[in-house]
Amino acid sequence: MFTVGTFDGRSTQNVADRSGVPVERVRDSYFRHVRQLEVGAWTLDHFWSVMQGETGIEMGYPDFEALYLGSIVDHLPMYATLAALPPGVRVGLLSNNYPVVSDHLRADPRFARFDALVFSNELGHKKPAPESFAALEAAMGLPAAQTAFVDDVQENIDAANAAGFHGILYHHEAHEAFERELAQWLESGETQS
């Protein structure tokens, strides 16, 4: 929700455009192996070496990493909402993420507003696995029932609700409606997070 559109689609398109290899071939390899990144089984450079072997792309790892990180496009309204949250509101992030990308995000000064960062690649489990929600609850230091969980995937909202969180489905094109729903929930006094 902090990025615009689909990072995987944008990054694979950027790799295809830079390398001249058809995007279908890039995506076939990428999506076959991306779960290894999401659960931290592979490093990003190992992932890239496997992709290179399968696609024939001639691009060094440093160039790939820069292109990959450059595929992140910030969703500025969500960053504005994050910054505007009152100081007493605890904020956590549960993200299906990748090595290097999670380090990049952690180093972003805007992410200092988060009280807890839980990345799938560091945890070994990705949403919607129950273990990911248990890790978020532990990292937040609050009962799930006192925590709103915001996501743009219904399956993840369903899993969060099953874990006891208050799920709010997010739509990028309806940010103002999301802000109203979040404000109402915060004002209801159900939580401080």
pLDDT digits (tens, 9 = 90+) for 48-91: 999 999 999 999 999 999 999 999 999 999 999 999 999 999 99
Confidence of residue 190 (pLDDT cuts 50, 70, 90): low
User: Cβ of 64: how many Cβ atoms within 10 Å?
Assistant: 23
Predicted local distance difference test score (pLDDT) of residue 5: 77
pLDDT digits (tens, 9 = 90+) for 170-183: 999 999 999 999 99
pTM for the full model? 0.90
Q: What one-letter code names the amino acid at 125?
A: H
List, in order, residues 6 or more apart from 138 with CB less than 8 Å away.
none
Bridge partners (DSSP) listed for residue 74? 3
How far, in Å, are 6, 20, 37 from residue 166 at the CA level?
A: 25, 45, 28
How far, in Å, are 14, 58, 79, 85, 123 from residue 54 at the CA level?
A: 17, 11, 37, 45, 28
Bridge partners (DSSP) listed for residue 149? 167
Quote the CA–CA distance of 135 and 126 in Å, as a whole number: 11
Coil, strand, or helix at residue 118? strand
Coil, strand, or helix at residue 171? coil
List, in order, residues 6 or more apart from 5 with CB less than 8 Å away.
73
The count of residues in the chain is 193
102, 69 in Cβ contact below 8 A? no
120, 38 in Cβ contact below 8 A? yes
pLDDT digits (tens, 9 = 90+) for 15-52: 999 999 999 999 999 999 999 999 999 999 999 999 99
List, in order, residues 6 or more apart from 186 with CB less than 8 Å away.
89, 148
Please state which CATH number belongs to domain 7-69. Answer: 1.10.150
94, 29 in Cβ contact below 8 A? no
Using the CB atoms, write b or e for 163-173: b if 16+ within 10 Å.
Answer: bebbbebbeee
Q: What one-letter code names the amino acid at 107?
A: A
CATH fold, domain 76-187, is Rossmann fold (3.40.50)
Sequence spans of domains, the chain = 7-69, 76-187
